[in-house]
Chain A
Amino acid sequence: MTGRYFPDEMPMPAVNAETAPWWEAAAAHRLVVQRCGACGTTRHPPGPVCPACRSEQAEWHELPGTGTVYTYTVVRQAFIPALADRLPYAVIAVELDDAGGARMVSNLVEAEPTEAAVGMAVEVVWEDMGPEVSVPRFRPAARAATTTQRGDAP
């Protein structure tokens, strides 16, 4: 997608030693999940050790970028002033395919916010914020990849 989903005043990600590789993969438009190198358990957000077997071995497993909406909300209040002209927007939790049940928070794009529904099939769309920062958002799956509409566009 080309246009920015949110205004520039939105908070940008900040990273630590555990989460930096995830955001670096995102900058390369690779959606990954951290997977234990010993027992295969996935975890998101990333952490220093496997919560199942406590191994420090971990790999960054690349995902197909598809998933299902687990839950969502349509936000209708501007919690920062810059969002006043950007309402409503949909925040979704996506259960990611091939990710061992891992879920992530994102936005529904290329659809009306009110089209969000539990169980909706979605696929990743990358939004470049700068050379070092890209943010994954999701659009309804199987929709043509040609549109760059904002979520509030008809």
Chain B
Amino acid sequence: MAGHRGPVSAGARAACLVGVGETRYTKWGGIDDASEYQLAVRAVLAALDDAGLSVDDVDGLASFAEDRNEATFMAADLGLPELRYASLSWLPGGGGACAAVANAAMAVEQGAAEVVVVYRSLCQGQFRRFGRGPGNAPGRAGPPRVPHLRRAASLLEAHVSFTMPFGMFSPPIAYAMVMRRHMHRFGTTAEHMGHVAVTTRRHAARNPRAVMGGRPMTMDDYLAARMVSEPFRLLDCCLENDGACAVVVTTAARAADTAKAPVALLAGAQGAPRGFGHGQYANVGMPDDDYASAGAAGVAARLWARAGLGPADVDVAQIYDHFTGLVLLSLEDFGFCARGEGGPMAASGALAWPDGALPTNTHGGSLSEAYIHGLNHVVEGVRQLRGESTCQVAGAETCLVTSAAGVPTSALVLGRR
């Protein structure tokens, strides 16, 4: 296995990523001729086509976080010969994209399935904003005039009852508070966050799939954007859009017959620190060092140990970017810089393709390509290691992919085989 530097999963059943695909990405409401579910189906078929495989080869499906497009229906509607593996990661929101791929990898390595497709479809034009919380979301009809203590429909609804009545009912508000704490402790600035926005927008300009590809952004544009929830401006926040993508996972033995060069899954890791709960979205009571962080330090330690690699070995990174500032926190948690140094690292130009020390979000990320809960970051990782990116890092052999900071999360190290 030339180029496989990781110590784990060697052998014929070692997990490989062999196909990627997506629908077109548009601003929300831009896709009105197909349902969100139909887009998921199209993405699965596109990824299989990319791999040179067909539905008849598929025996597993995986997704994450409250997916509306159940694998059971997908299996029947696509006509899978037999469903042998189906999983949904518990990791909430965008925390589970890498975990869904890692779970698929575990399934093929263990022999539970041969070909597992991981998919995500997100049509916000059809279903509105993700992350509004459960049934406690602001009612269209309004609450009764004399409110009473209602019975919560879920643990999450009971938990966010300690946040939503206070107007903390959207991720930008919750994570603005995390960034304010980080600024207070470490002196992180708006310009630090702006470097993430401007750099990834520049990457998106080269990517024909990117929703914001034709919309250049300067630091002045960034600083002039309206405030959403201080310190987050509009351009600190990821897109809201329509689209779907998918990734095909199979064994090294099976990958020998696929259409394109397989990409090795060198390591995956997932989880959350003690007391982290659902993350800062629903919990402000965790230790200070965890609150002002991505909550991913443990995930990072396990990831690097399993891969037999460290931050210095990474050629290119796709870091979940629901908010600019949380990219800085992920850089810290994954060891690319010291705690509190994420802002200065971004300002140094480290994230820029092609000359930065760690070209990051070379597709444009969720800020500028599309917000598909970070599964599109896995897609871009595969393209980098095949040499297919529109911001190709020359000779890239390793790519870090992370999922959402600020919720229980997951990450992958991908490698060129």
Contact = CB atoms under 8 A, between A and B. Distances in A.
**A and B assemble together:** yes
Interface of A: 6, 8-16, 18-20, 23-24, 27, 43-45, 51, 70-77, 79-80, 82-83, 89, 91, 93, 101-107, 118, 129-133, 135, 137
B285 A44 contact: yes
A14 B229 contact: no
B176 interface: yes
A49 B18 CA distance: 45
Interface residues of B, number: 50
A133 B147 contact: yes
B143 A15 contact: no
B301 interface: no
B139 A9 contact: yes
Given A83-B167, A102-B285, A133-B148, A11 B184 contact: no
Nearest to B275: A51
A137 B165 CA distance: 10
Nearest to B184: A118
A12 B147 contact: yes
Interface stretch (B28-36, B67-75, B151-159, B384-392): B151-159
Nearest to B154: A16
22 contacts: A10-B138, A11-B139, A12-B165, A14-B152, A16-B151, A71-B180, A72-B177, A73-B177, A73-B230, A75-B167, A76-B230, A77-B226, A77-B228, A77-B229, A82-B138, A93-B284, A104-B285, A105-B168, A105-B284, A107-B166, A130-B146, A135-B165
B367 to A, nearest CB: 17
B180 A9 contact: no
A105 to B, nearest CB: 5
B135 interface: yes
A73 B180 contact: yes
B266 to A, nearest CB: 34
Interface in B157-198: 157-159, 161-170, 172-173, 176-178, 180-181, 184
Contacts of A72: 177, 180
Given A14-B158, A75-B173, A104-B162, A132 B148 contact: yes
A43 B275 CA distance: 10
B167 A15 contact: no
B148 A130 contact: yes
Given A16-B155, A104-B162, 4 more contacts: A8-B143, A14-B157, A75-B228, A105-B168
B141 to A, nearest CB: 9
